[in-house]
Amino acid sequence: MRLWPRRHGTSYDLLVAGLGNPGREYTRNRHNVGWLVVDELARRHDGAWKGKFNGKLAEIRVDGHKVALLKPETYMNDSGRSVQAAMKFFKLDPDAVLVVHDEIDLPPARLQARLGGGTAGHNGLRSIASHLGTTDFLRLRVGVGRPARGDRRKPADYVLSDFEPHEDAERLVAAAADAVELLDAEGLEAAQRAVNVRNST
């Protein structure tokens, strides 16, 4: 059973917002993993990007459901402006908005799906919560870990650096895209059973 019933008057079942920063220098940053995930979903389902809502929007179908993919181009600290505009346009409630973002408090390659929660210092989440007026939106937390012992970079500098080859970003992005597809098809609880439990062992 899906977490959210299809609501009268809405045009989409789910809005998936992948967080990141615009600009070629940020493309492969850990902080841009949300963008990488929605790019992968667009590739899998033949989505075409177009400019809208101060970002890029692609419309796809996943298992028969209409899904909107969003890449805010407002920079991370103002992501909420783009997400709010898309949510209002599609007449969606916050629990039909899924935000895919990097998470330094999860080990590399670990995923966690959840509804609501704090922002844990993540500027993108803070902006979205502020603009939506609630923290009760869906999240897919994509673990990127913290700097290794001996690495003197600050967390902010670490997430704004590229994935290392051994981190296998392609595999991580594919697993996160799989989790989004499962959440859309079967709801949050099914995604949590598959993703959270598997990643906690």
Find the catalytic residue in 31, 101, 122, 131: 31
- Residue 29 CA to residue 17 CA, distance in Å, equals 17
Separation between Cα atoms, residue 86 and residue 122, nearest integer Å = 21
Adjacent-strand bridge partners of 113: 140
64: confidence class by pLDDT, cuts 50, 70, 90: confident
Mean pLDDT of 82-103: 96
Mean of the per-residue pLDDT values for the chain? Answer: 92
Span 160-179, average pLDDT: 96
Judge whether residue 201 has pLDDT over 70.
no
Over range 66-90, report the average pLDDT: 97
Quote the pLDDT of residue 198: 63
Q: What is the pLDDT of residue 151?
A: 87
Output the pLDDT for position 5.
47
Higher model confidence: residue 121 or residue 136?
136
Question: What distance in Å separates the CA atoms of residue 45 and residue 14, rounded to the nearest whole number?
Answer: 15
DSSP string, the chain: --SSPPPTT-S-SEEEEE----SGGGTTBGGGHHHHHHHHHHHHTT---EEETTEEEEEEEETTEEEEEEEE-S-GGGHHHHHHHHHHHTT--GGGEEEEEEETTS-TT-EEEEES---TT-HHHHHHHHHHT-S-SEEEEEE---PPTT----HHHHHTSBPPGGG-HHHHHHHHHHHHHHHHHH-HHHHIIIIIHHHH-
Annotated catalytic residue 8 = no
